[in-house]
Structure 1
Amino acid sequence: MFDAHALRAQFPLLMRAPGLIYLDNAATTQKPLAVLDAERHFYETANANVHRGSHRLAVAATDAFEGARASVARFINAASSDEIVFTRGTTEAINLVAQSWGEANLRAGDEIILTTLEHHANIVPWQMLAARCGAIIRPVHLLRDGSLDMDHFHALLSDKTKLLGLTHISNAIGSELPVADLIAAAHRFSAKVLIDGAQAVAHKTIDVQALDADFYVFSSHKVYGPTGIGALWARAEILAAMPPWQGGGEMIERVSFETTSYAPAPARFEAGTPAIAQTVGFAAALDWLQAQDRPAIARHEEALRQQLEQGLGQIDGLRVIGTAAHKGPVVSIAFSEAHPYDVAQFLDAREIAVRVGNHCAQPLLSSMGLQGTLRASFAAYNTADDVTALLTGLSETLAILA
């Protein structure tokens, strides 16, 4: 049996607030001691800039930084660590692809297919690109349960399709997409595929080579690591053909006032001093998670989601939004009378932390006739007692607000 209580002891914030029921993990996860120690150890023993010095601290910092790149590559089974570009997170990674690969490859009349499930981060950069180059965005509709309308998806695919952008797991309602099938279908039309894996990497084993995607992006802070750091994975041949994104130090090979030549990937896309300590913490988080029993964690998180959804079915005045057959550990709730913000405030008074709002997925909620929901999302350290407390809090809160 997986022991979430024992795992919880590795998270200092949770131990210092024993009454806290933290159910906002889709927004950001708490950090285990292994991550905090890794960042502190770097600052105490190897703090220097990377790639630019020959003294021993610079060498140690560079080794730690590039070792972190190798850890990320192993975590998602990339063919080479050179396929890993460090970014500030998922959002910056998508913007990088849109502004580098997109600017170089998309023209007026080309089509970009996105799903209605997408986070704004996988919509707005493509809209900005489309406005500049004349490309057309085609959104894929959903079925009533929040799963993808596969008939509509296949109807949208054509020789005009140049990019398919899709979330692996919806941050708003938890729907998990059949990404391997979608990738294969898009590739039959020679379209490139970008997967937003921000909500998947903490819960699923990711193998980018088996998925056969072209780009996979995710953030550290949603997988038990620091904020301000994330990764873009792309096929080596695609990165090699992509033009630089930002200019400055680190991404150059040689500079003169007449011309500049650029470093090969991944350095070409990492201008300036990187978030070195955060990158070390990122790798520590992935290594920590890999050391856990990941299949047991996945079963545990799924059991928590089912426990919550079954319990919600016994409470009047609310409904679960998103009932697809395949879901991540995310439950989104709408209320027939109460406002989700009011409910969340009552829950906060009970030390239950949930998320309310549109979850940066306004097109999705609008398609469902909603302005916002209350969202509970699980991580490895959550327990059945957390679910029970949330159900009790919701029931009593709705009785008060009735």
Structure 2
Amino acid sequence: MTRYKAPRGTSDLVFPDSEKMERLIETACALMRERGYRRIDTPILEDTELFARSIGEETDIVTKEMYNFEDRGGESLTMRPEGTAPVVRAYLERGLASRGLPVKVYYVGPMFRRERPQAGRFRQFTQIGGEAIGSEDPFLDAEIISFSDALFARLGLERYRLLVNSVGCRECRPAYVDRLRSFLEAMKGGLCEQCVRRTDTNPLRVFDCKNERCRATLKGAPTIGEHLCPRCREHFDALLGHLDTMGMTFEVDERMVRGLDYYTNTAFEFQFEGLGAQNTVCGGGRYDGLTEELGGPPTPGVGYSMGLERLLMALEAEGLDPFVPERLQVFLAAAPGVQREPVLDLLGRLRAEGISADTDFMGRGLKAQMKQADRLGARVVVMIGEEELASGEVTLRDLDASEQWRVPAKGLVERIRQIL
């Protein structure tokens, strides 16, 4: 037993959970490619200022949760807490607009936030996300939203709901923020200390608060829907129409905002039953002013991100296990005294033919090797002894049918394919 442990808020993902995660990523990435999205990978480390400017200097992520450090050259770096800002930075830096608009990309990888560890909340977590940059068409918003719905359907998930809202734009949001701030100042007695501070710095963030007293107070708060400009209202109505046409069930929640300041117009979340307070598995929205914040030309964009650990928890909560582990096809069992060369040669031949194969590396006896093959779930065992080697044959056992044969070693691959 070692005294070393994974850092608080992180964990090792071991099989079979690691294999489920792998299959989940493969399924999600394949679904993104079906929609014309291309893979992008950005560094885990980014300039700290990138997130301060994009996410918002007063957000909880920037003020409390980012892992920042100064390297030996005096540069302030941050382990990425989210994926959109790095993708938009890469879009601008790499001139991806020259490849044709909209630029549709997806990413998958670890994110880092120093949050209080609890069920469904980790300091290192895996996200898949998609970004579509270059078009303000609300149909693109609907496509982004529909990806998650399609993935959940493919996985067999049912107990979730889609919440959508419009958070307005730079023109119409300020009037709403002023009215909301006035309401909050009048109701400070019903707010927690953090929400009192947010009243001055970023009033919209009060809707993220989980405090029951704050939630009760906010039931009387004004809603942004009353303040949307005609352009934002038209965009939102068009989105709702597209979601209807696509057969998606949704709820309009005018108090739903996302925890990042760059969102404009569309905001959405997928929430699941059975996950407690951390029930949001996927969320996203439109960020039409983000490229300008990062020094680029005005460019609309929309995207989503999904926490894969929470998605695995949602599958477990619904009793679903759609990822059947791939079965080992062949186990090579060599009798004691048999040289390794013929075993390794046969192992290489099978693997070269695309047949999954393994053998013993612990010096076990033949009986123990058979037990090992059974533990590994092998379909076929190939037994190699001195007698078989001398005759140019091997013994082939089908563990499912409980049958075995002596077959020529040269025709082994073909015979195994017949069984499989």
Shorter-chain TM-score bucket reads under 0.3
- Structure with higher strand content: 2
Alignment TM-score, normalising by the size of structure 1: 0.26
Alignment TM-score, normalising by the size of structure 2: 0.25
Q: Which has the larger radius of gyration?
A: 2
